[in-house]
Amino acid sequence: MSVSEPTKAAGTGGGDAPATPRRRSAWDDRKEAITNSPATPVYAALLGVFIIAWIVVTIDGGTFLTVSNIVNMLQRSVALGIVSAGQTVAILAGSLDLSVAFLISLSSLVTAEVMDGSDANIVPAVLAVLALGVVVGLGNGLIITKLRVNAFIATLGTALILQGLIQNRYDGPAGSIGEGFEQLGYTRFGIIPASVFLLVAVVALVYFLLRWTRFGFRLYAVGGDEEVSRLSGVRTHRVIIAAHVVCSVCAAITGLFLASRLGAGTPTVGTDGGYDLESIAAVVLGGTALAGGRGGVLGTIGGVFILAVLDNTFNQLEVNAFLKDVVRGVIIIAAVAVYARRSERRA
């Protein structure tokens, strides 16, 4: 039989199935998976941006396609990459997290203070920071699910609370980290900075969570349609809470990393980096739907790299920092507009 023939009542759909009936192979599946992946256009875009940047910079007499330059771009992507990976999870659940920036600052401070200059304390410091992440994540998740507070307001509120706690306790860089831990921020294995491996590890972990665990599958389900998921027996609240825990933990890890880079904790490292809105921008730039349920961490990293390439190019061309923001704004809007049109076409 051919179920694919669009029946009149059925109207749309079936359109993309081959006209002549034939068995589908695993290859069809793979092909399908690729065309369906929202990450595909992102990397197309990344490639485009990369090539343009290359040409422009070279014309300008700069060096773009050198190992050290590429490595520098990777280095710059680490912090934003890790937060955004977490933010992706929150957004996939149909939520979002505006509190990451302050959590990052707080984490950097906690790291530096607990570590207090000696590598002996690395383990307690890391544990403390991860615990902090879990707590904040639980807080956000519970406020959103149990108190039914819109995620935007909930996390905005948490952000304020965190900011208060930070500024109440710290009036400048505090604590210091051990020599050994500083290596995370500065040493390189060969040419690759250690921190890049951290980024890879986190992304891999999140990717694994989304792709291979039940949590991941349910996350997409809940983000896609909370009611249908509920009817299918998904414990939607748990999923949303878990999503926020993951998001906050990623932010905490970013704090760890930045502490190692700054050699201390600072109350402003998170907000100076604008990681709250930047990470959301990176996620949507990475093709993840702000409404949730569609997208993935690979796309997000693509988005982060796009921003990194832009940054690097602008640095090379010594483009004014403010003009840079203009271009970023335009690119973000344009990208999302394109994705919107694209998903309209396919729906």
Partner 1 sequence: ALFAGACGSDDSDDQSAQEPAATATEDGGGEPQGDTGPVSEFFVQEDYDTQLAQRDIEPEGDPATPWLQMIEPEMADTSEYKAKNASGWNLCFSNAAVDNPWRQVGWNTMQHEVKLHKEIANFKAVDAEASDDKQISDIEELANGNCDALIVSPNTTKTLTPAVEAACEKVPVIVFDRGVDTDCPVTFVHPIGGYAFGVDGAEFLKENVDSGGKILALRILPGVDVLETRWSGAKVQFDDSDLNVVGVEFTDGDAAKTKSIVSDYLQREGQIDGVWMDAGATAVAAMEAFEDNGVDIPPFVGEDQNDFLTKWQEDGLNAIAPTYSNYQWRTAVLAAVKILKGEEVPKEWVLPQPAITQDTLADYVDPNMPPLHYALCGCEDMPGYPQDWGGK
Partner 2 sequence: MAPLLAMKDIRKSFLGVEVLHGVSLECEAGEIHAVMGENGAGKSTLMKVLAGVYSPDGGTIELEGEQVSFSHPVQAQGAGVAIIFQEFNLLPDRTVAENVFVNREPTKRGLVDIRSMEQHTRELLEEVGVTHFGPRTLVRHLSTAQQQIVEIVKALSLDAKLLVLDEPTAALAEHEVEVLFALLRRLRERGLGMVYISHRLREIFTICDKITVLKDGELVGTVPTEGTDTNTLISMMVGRELDGYFPPRGTAEELGDVRLRATGIETSMLTGVDIEVRAGEIVGLAGLQGSGRTELARALFGADPISAGTIEVDGKKRGRGPRAGIGSGMGFITEDRKLEGLTLAQPIRDNVLLAVRSLGRSQRKRLPNTVSVQELARSVELKARSLEQEARFLSGGNQQKVVLAKWLATQPGVLIFDEPTRGVDVGAKAGIHDLMRGLARDGVAILMISSEMPELIGLADRILVMRNGELAGELPAGAAETEIMKLAAAEDHELEAA
Partner 3 sequence: MSATTPDAFETPVTSRSERVRKALVGTAPIFIVLFILLALIAIENPNFLEPPGFLAFLKRAAPLAILAAGQYFVIVSGEFDLSVGSIVTVVVVVAARLIDDDPSKTWPIIALLLAIGATVGVTNGLITTRLKVPSFITTLGMLLILSGAVFWWTGGAPRGALPDNFREIGRLGIQDFPVLEQLPWSVVILLVIGIGAILLMRASFGRRLMAVGDNESAARLSGVKVENMRTIAFVLSGLSAAVAGILLGGFAGVSAQVGQGLEFQAITAVVLGGVVLGGGRGTVLAAMAGALTLEALFTLLNLYGVSGALEDTVQGIIIIAAVAFASYRLRGAR
The verdict on 12 binding ligand ATP (CB under 6 A) reads yes
CA atoms within 13 A on the CB side of 4: 12
Cα distances from 95 to residues 219, 289, 291, in angstroms, run 11, 11, 8
Residue 123's DSSP bridge partners are: none
Between CA 193 and CA 146 the distance in angstroms is 42
> Which residue in the block uniquely carries the two structure tokens 């599946």?
29
Asked whether position 147 contacts partner 2 by CB under 8 A, the answer is: no
Answer yes or no whether residue 320 interacts with partner 3 by CB under 8 A: yes
Coil, strand or helix at 60: coil
Q: Which is nearer to partner 3, 69 or 271 (CB)?
A: 271
Q: Which does 159 bind (CB under 5 to 8 A by kind): partner 2, ligand ATP, partner 1, none?
A: partner 1
Residue 318 binds which entry of ligand ATP, partner 1, partner 3, none, CB below 5-8 Å type-dependent? partner 1
Q: Which residues contact 258 (CB under 8 A, 6 or more apart)?
A: 79, 104, 108, 269, 270, 273
Q: Which residues are bridge partners to 240 per DSSP? A: none
Taken in order 117, 123, 126, 132, the sign of the CA dihedral is negative
- Cβ proximity to partner 3: between 129 and 281 the closer is 281
Selection from partner 2, ligand ATP, partner 3, none that 24 binds (CB < 5 to 8 A by kind) is partner 2
Interface with partner 3 (CB under 8 A), residue from 1, 9, 19, 147: 147
- Letter string b/e over residues 144-157, b meaning 16 or more CB atoms within 10 A of that residue's CB: bbeeebebeebbbb
15: contact with ligand ATP by CB under 6 A: no
Size of the site for partner 3 (CB under 8 A): 44
Is there binding between residue 147 and ligand ATP (CB under 6 A)? Answer: no
**DSSP letters for 221-274:** HHHH-HHHHHHTT--HHHHHHHHHHHHHHHHHHHHHHHHHHHTSB-TTHHHHTT
Return the number of the residue (33 or 123) whose C-beta is nearest partner 2. Answer: 33
Using the rule CB under 8 A, is 109 a contact of partner 1? no
Least CB distance to partner 2 at residue 27 (A): 10
Which stretches of the chain bind ligand ATP, using CB under 6 A?
Answer: 9-13
Binding site for partner 1 (CB under 8 A): 68-69, 72, 75-76, 79, 98, 101-102, 156, 159-160, 163, 167-168, 170-173, 182, 185-186, 258, 261-264, 266-269, 271-274, 276-277, 315, 318, 320-321
